[in-house]
Structure 1
Amino acid sequence: MRILLVGEFSRLHNSLKEGLLKLGHEVVIVSNGDGFKNYPSDYSNRAFWCESKLGNIPRQLIYRITKFDMSKIERGLRFYFLLNKLKGFDCVQLINEAPIQTTAKFELYLLKKLFKQNHKFFLLCSGVDYVTLNHMLDKKERYSIMNPYFERIKESLIQYESMWEYNSKSHKKIHDFLYKKIKGVIASDLDYVNPLINNPKFLGMIPNPINISTIEFVENPVKDKIVIFLGINNGNSYKKGIHLFEKALEIIKQKYADKIEIIVTRNIPYQDYIKQFNKAHIVLDQIYAYDQGYNALEAMAKGKVVFTGAEKEFEDYFNLSEKVAVNALPNVENLVTELFYLIENPNEIQAIGIRARVFVEKEHDYVKVAEKYLKVWEN
């Protein structure tokens, strides 16, 4: 089967491609590399000129005056000139409702072109889109990435500006077009199941694929200090609850300065990020989630203790009786309590890390997950 994967978030499509290749399929990825993370693509629509030192000057100037990001136009144009290479695929999967990441009108135009020259199309619910945004705005869950916005934390508001595009009339046209044309929509983790549960196009949840063959498990005994890692992306830090992690770390530092080492990074490429969190025993990933995203799963596969989404819904779905990750609640006191426990009981760090690896091997192996996608696509 010839498969085209459009767009990339958190290496999901790259890992899926690796699984599909193992199963003997031809796979092509077209994406902008997910911004500064710069994930690999067979064809790239990254805004190379706008993101260059020279091009960034007029880009920033135009943005300050008009609040419009010129890189969107460049991404769309680069995708347009790739269209002749994106023909005749048996199956096309879009990473979300705006996989090209250009302006809404240009996105719709390019998607219509893509649909005309290929066969079956499927949509991933991964990240924010029209459905998930409205679900969160209706406050249908105990908490969500919208919490800082609802709490009117002033510094957080800028991080939500781009999200409103998914609720605009122009994006609604994209949403309506896609749901008329796609064969179905797949949730990439449990956070996206409830928004889709009554949708007639919903095909179920398929766990994130993790290429465990490239991720070495390292037993994680504490020999000296416990290393805690926090990787920050300034563009979505509040949506991940980083401000709560930072407050918890301040408290932890005061009590355990001699027992811990804290590593904090900001806006670094994926490869550099990996090098830093390889040193960690504990990885602080995200708070406003019910299940794990790719970064958390990769850390779990390495035997780290990850603070992330691990709610009761997650434990019930996978029928877990022991902790494979720490459920990071939006409560500083709870985060501090969980960190205190691990620092005082370092043997538990190794035990959770071993269980985490076993869990990822069982439920997220990239070849097994690729088989699940094929079953859905073929049926």
Structure 2
Amino acid sequence: MKILLIGEASFLHNTLKKGLVERGHRVTTMSDGNGWHDAPRDIDLRRNLRWGKFGGLWVVWQLLRHLPQLCGNDVVQIHNYQFVPLMYRWNTLLLRFLKLTNRCVVKGCFGDDPQIFRRQAQGVPAYSDTYWSGQLQNTELHRDRIAEVTDHGAEASWRKTTAMADALVPCLYEYWLDYNEPPYAAKLHYIPLPMECEKMVRWCDGEMVKWCNGEMVRWCNGEMVRCVGNVTTSPSHPNNSQLAPSHPITILIGLQPKRDFMKGAMKIAMFVEEVARRHPGKVQIKYVEGVPYDEYMRLLAEADVLVDQLYSYTPSMNSLAAMARGTVVIGGGEEEYYEFIGEDTLRPIINVRPDVPDEENIATIERALFTDGMLERMQREGVEFVHKYHDYRHVAEQYEQLYRSLLAKG
């Protein structure tokens, strides 16, 4: 198949392309790089800031230059209703053109949009960054964020692009919940986030090892040493729990002060600080802010635990990146999500939520960190979970099946 992926969300399309190409498809990516992520793309749509308000002319020129790539595809997939960095009405017009000149169009449900905020206000899912404990929360803090996807033509653009799409693909369970109602349910297809993870964690003589500073390492007598044993891609002893180091448990907390009202990491940090006070010398907390992406990935691999999001219902891309590296996540892992995907064994996430007393969340974290063998089990289960559900090759196969079913319908 000839496939065009337009827009980007946390490397989703970039990673998906790798899986689709390995399956023999011709894939082109077109995006602005998703801001600071600067994701690789074949056609660059990033606005030239030196042009000020006329930066959109550069984007239009790029679209005109690459008009042949915009036409004649079997599948065009856009990441949301504003898939190119132009005004909303231009996105709507562009999608009409793509609909006419390609065989089918798929729209991703990969982030904020009017439907998600509308359903969150109704308590779907049970809690989110804008709603918990039976009521809207932080309304002033979210005012501008919600206005961005409901005002200035955004609502109309979202409605029209959603109607034109042949299929809607949410990448998170909570997004699926938000869209699982008429008239969207009929063309709704949940497909999980793709991760490229086979080189992140290995097992050496039955013990989990990680990458650190370009070398395979593990803990031995409380010290990090190079792995020189028999390295494999899967555990030879899945129940082996000898990994536990005698060093303090390292917990990584990534700070985003301007976005913490959406994430709640600082609230979880308070829980972690309390656990550390109860267990002197057994917990080491590392706060990081504004580090380059590669440096952050290295810190993820070195940490035992990552503090992610208080308001997330299921694991985000950040959580999955940590789990793939053998790092346990404090974040979203609700039981109904495991039931939705059919997982009855693996429980790799320390699940915290905003609608319970703080002491309950503290007790949950404390139990996971200091119950013998529990942290080590969750490290292994996290790696297994990501491989089982989020390996980019498996995810690409699911997208391929969806594409073929749409093409078969004509």
Normalised to the residue count of structure 1, the TM-score between the two structures is 0.85
Aligned twin of 1:82: 62
Deviation at residue 113 of structure 1 after TM alignment: 4.3
Out of 154, 159, 162, which is 2:145 matched to? 162
- Identical amino acids, percent of aligned pairs: 24
Aligned twin of 2:36: 36
Are 1:133 and 2:157 matched, yes or no?
A: no
1:265-301 C-alpha deviation (Å, 9 max, x unpaired): 2233422221221111001111222221211112111
User: Are the aligned partners of 2:193 and 2:317 in contact in 1 as well (CA < 8 Å)?
Assistant: yes
1:20-69 C-alpha deviation (Å, 9 max, x unpaired): 1110111121222221122222222224536xxxx8xxx7xxxxxxxxxx
Aligned twin of 1:63: none
Out of 155, 166, 174, which is 1:172 matched to? 155
The structure carrying a bigger helix percent of its residues is: 1
- 3-state SS of the aligned residue for 1:205? coil
Aligned twin of 1:328: 352
- 3-state SS of the aligned residue for 1:290? coil
In 2, the alpha carbon distance for the partners of 1:151 and 1:171 equals 23
User: Are the aligned partners of 2:45 and 2:85 in contact in 1 as well (CA < 8 Å)?
Assistant: no
Deviation at residue 205 of structure 1 after TM alignment: 0.7
Are 1:211 and 2:237 matched, yes or no?
A: no
In 2, the alpha carbon distance for the partners of 1:153 and 1:130 equals 15
Out of 305, 310, 321, which is 2:328 matched to? 305
Out of 343, 347, 352, which is 2:378 matched to? 352
The structure carrying a bigger strand percent of its residues is: 2
In 2, the alpha carbon distance for the partners of 1:46 and 1:232 equals 26
Aligned twin of 2:338: 315
Answer with 1 or 2: which has the greater Rg: 2
In 2, the alpha carbon distance for the partners of 1:248 and 1:103 equals 42
Aligned twin of 2:79: 95
Aligned twin of 2:235: none
Count of aligned pairs between the two proteins: 356
Greater relative contact order (CA < 8 Å, ≥ 6 in sequence): 1
In 1, the alpha carbon distance for the partners of 2:198 and 2:389 equals 14
User: Are the aligned partners of 1:300 and 1:306 in contact in 2 as well (CA < 8 Å)?
Assistant: yes
Normalised to the residue count of structure 2, the TM-score between the two structures is 0.79
1:181-235 C-alpha deviation (Å, 9 max, x unpaired): 2111011121111111122443321111111234334546323111101223344
Which amino acid is the alignment partner of residue 336 of structure 1? I
Out of 365, 368, 372, which is 2:398 matched to? 372
In 2, the alpha carbon distance for the partners of 1:371 and 1:207 equals 11
In 2, the alpha carbon distance for the partners of 1:333 and 1:46 equals 46
Aligned twin of 2:169: 186
User: Are the aligned partners of 2:6 and 2:31 in contact in 1 as well (CA < 8 Å)?
Assistant: yes
In 1, the alpha carbon distance for the partners of 2:273 and 2:47 equals 38
Aligned twin of 2:296: 273
User: Are the aligned partners of 1:229 and 1:284 in contact in 2 as well (CA < 8 Å)?
Assistant: yes
In 1, the alpha carbon distance for the partners of 2:58 and 2:165 equals 24
Which runs of 5 or more structure 1 residues have no equivalent in the other structure? 60-69
Deviation at residue 246 of structure 1 after TM alignment: 2.6
Out of 267, 270, 276, which is 1:244 matched to? 267
